[in-house]
Structure 1
Amino acid sequence: MATLYINLFLKVFLIFTPFFVISAFLSLTKDDSLAERRRIAVKISLAVAISCFVLFFFGTYIFALFGITLDAFRIGAGAVLFLSAVSMIQGKATVSPQTSREDVAVVPLAIPITVGPGTIGVMLVLGADLVTLGEKFVAGLALLSAVVVLGGLLLIAGRLEKVLGQQGLTILTKLTGLFVSAIAAQIFFTGLKNFLA
């Protein structure tokens, strides 16, 4: 169970693309005060947690409703996640600062920047893959831990920018993209193998 927890925590945390999220957060909140940034960081964490837990626990019902097989969804989710990873590696995943002062916490920072199509696909697949109550509990704990760590990083985003610089964040985003592409390939080929079996 400890191995499952660590494995799922790392997988979910990387799929959140934390360093790209931090870059987007800094860009979209550059004119906000420290207190406002903290409020937005907490709101992002809550929105990400709620959306991910809903997808994780109700994914099987969504599959049943639309008549989609798990392996077909693995192939689709893997392909979408891979495209997102390629965008990060190439540096094309960028966010333009908002000109209006609407709240950016839920849209676009939580959805679709943190919980994008690839993340949604992975949450649905994970929820359908893990069947026992013990596995679901461990996965829920790993998911919650990943959200808490992401929220913590957003709370200290200003300090991270000073230490790493924008170039450092860009490099970490590209490295994250490499790991995400490997996760995407594994999901895709697992789906393809099972689909063709």
Structure 2
Amino acid sequence: MFELFFSTYISSTIRFLFLLAPFFVVTMFLALTRGMPAPEKSFVIRRACIAAAIMGIILFFAGPLLFSAIGITLNSFRIGAGTLLFLTAISLVTSGTRNHATGLPDEDRDDIAVVPLAVPVMIGPATIGAILVYGAELKRASEVAGGLLGLVSSLLILAVLLRLSGYLEKVLGETGLNILSKISGLILSAMAAEIVLTGITGFIANI
């Protein structure tokens, strides 16, 4: 049981971390918090990560209930969510930004932690769909525990990267962060393809 928990935890942490597109989030955070004092930036990071964690945990458990209420199958949702995730991956690869987050740094808000940083920069439409799918796929208690801990761990890693965002900007520069965002997009496209193909395979098997 521990081996199943540990393997699910490791794979889920990696999956969720790439779903969050951390280097894109770092780029957006730098743009949104330019000129802020360090204590205020730390407060924004805490609020954003807590808000994203609450939403992510709700989505993680909401999949089966949502699918049952709407009357759609998991395989059908896999195809839809995977397609949306693939479009997001393409936007990351081609332009270095998520298609739903274009122009957000220009917004002037008193509180940017929840909107737009937590939603939709961290938890966007494609991420929502993928979390619903991954949560619904896990059946055993050890898998659910590993997946949930993986989600929380990925957000903690993202929080650390945001705390180090100034240092990362100095070392990597804007070009380096964009390149890493594009690499994340490539990995996301592979994840999206896997979700879609799994959905198609399961859909055909149930015909």
Unaligned runs of 5+ in 1: none
How far is the alpha carbon of 1:101 from its aligned partner? 3.6
Amino acid at match of 2:106: Q
Residue 53 (structure 2) aligned to one of 30, 49, 74: 49
The reply to whether residue 61 of structure 1 matches residue 65 of structure 2 is yes
2:130 maps to what in 1? 122
Asked whether 1:89 is paired with 2:97, we answer no
Contact 2:96–2:182, Cα closer than 8 Å, also in 1:
no
TM-score, structure 2 normalization:
0.92
Bigger mean CA deviation after superposition, 1-10 or 66-75: 1-10
The alpha-carbon deviation at position 9 of structure 1 amounts to: 0.8
Question: Residues of 2 paired with 1:113 and 1:70: CA distance?
Answer: 25
- Pairing 1:16-165 to 2, within 5 Å after superposition: 16-91=20-95, 93=97, 94-165=102-173
Contact 1:8 1:139 in 2 (8 A): yes
Q: Give the drift of 1:100.
A: 2.4
Contact 2:9 2:150 in 1 (8 A): yes
Q: Is the Cα contact below 8 Å between 1:27 and 1:95 reproduced in 2?
A: no
Letter in 2 for 1:134: S
Matched, 1:8 2:12: yes
Secondary structure of the 1:97 match is helix
3-state SS, counterpart of residue 22 of structure 1: helix
CA distance in 2, matches of 1:121, 1:96: 21
What amino acid maps onto 2:199 in structure 1? G
What percent identity do the matched residue pairs reach?
A: 43
Deviation of 1:95 after TM superposition, in Å, equals 3.8
Q: Which residue of 2 aligns with 1:175?
A: 183
* Distance in 2 of aligned mates of 1:71 and 1:97: 36
One-letter amino acid of the structure 1 residue matched with residue 74 of structure 2? L
Distance 2:105 2:154 in 1: 26
C-alpha deviation, 1:89, in angstroms: 0.2
**In 1, Cα distance between equivalents of 2:130 and 2:109:** 32
| 1:194 correspondence with 2:202 | yes
Change (3 A) 1:99 1:57: closer
The one-character-per-residue Cα deviations of 1:4-59 (angstroms, maximum 9, x if unpaired) are 22111101100100000000000011021111111111111101100000000122
- The amino acid of 2:61's aligned partner reads F
Paired residue type of 1:18? P
Please tell me whether the aligned partners of residues 104 and 116 of structure 2 are also in contact (alpha carbons under 8 angstroms).
no
**In structure 1, what residue type is equivalent to 2:10?**
I
Query: Deviation per CA, 1:161-188, whole angstroms, max 9, x where unpaired?
Result: 1111111100000000000000000001
Matches of 2:47 and 2:185 in 1, distance apart? 25
Question: Which deviates more, 89-98 or 16-25?
Answer: 89-98
Task: Say what the alpha-carbon RMSD is for the aligned residues.
Answer: 1.2
